[in-house]
Amino acid sequence: MRRIWGGSGASGLGVNDVLMKDARLSVPARGLAVHLLLLPDGAQPDLVRLASRPGETAESIEGYLGELEEVGYVRRRVVRDEGGRAVEEVTVYARAGVDEDHEGVTGRLFRWPASERRAAGETGAGGGGGAAARAR
């Protein structure tokens, strides 16, 4: 099993199981974070692929990402690629509230086409299935 990024020691969740125990997150948001953290190097997920799983939509995935962002497990930003297209950069961390400035902390960086809402400059949680989104 792949070692979750951002910690030292055992393989798998091991010492980094804080994410799975974080009651501020819905179970699907936790699952999405673990899924992204455990993807093999070079994997290129995107909203369409993530939303293709049974019972999920692009909006629900946006909601889970918003939950993770609110608590600090995810950092997102929209940038323009070489062709001028809006691309969302998503960095996922095994621990909340850390970033690349903390020594020894590495997040998993993914890039995918930005949703229309994100490309238009809206930040934060998208609509859909997360507890944080429902609490608004």
- Name the pLDDT band for 20 (thresholds 50, 70, 90): confident
List C-alpha distances in Å: 10 to 4, 5, 40, 103. Answer: 9, 11, 17, 19
Res 127 pLDDT > 70: no
Which pLDDT value is given to residue 40? 84
Please tell me the predicted confidence (pLDDT) of residue 136. 33
Joined together, the tokens standing for residue 104 give 């020894």
Check residues 71 and 132 and name the one with the higher pLDDT.
71
Q: What's the pTM?
A: 0.74
Asked whether 128 and 63 are in contact (CB, 8 A), the reply is yes
Question: How do the domains of the chain map onto residue ranges?
Answer: 14-134
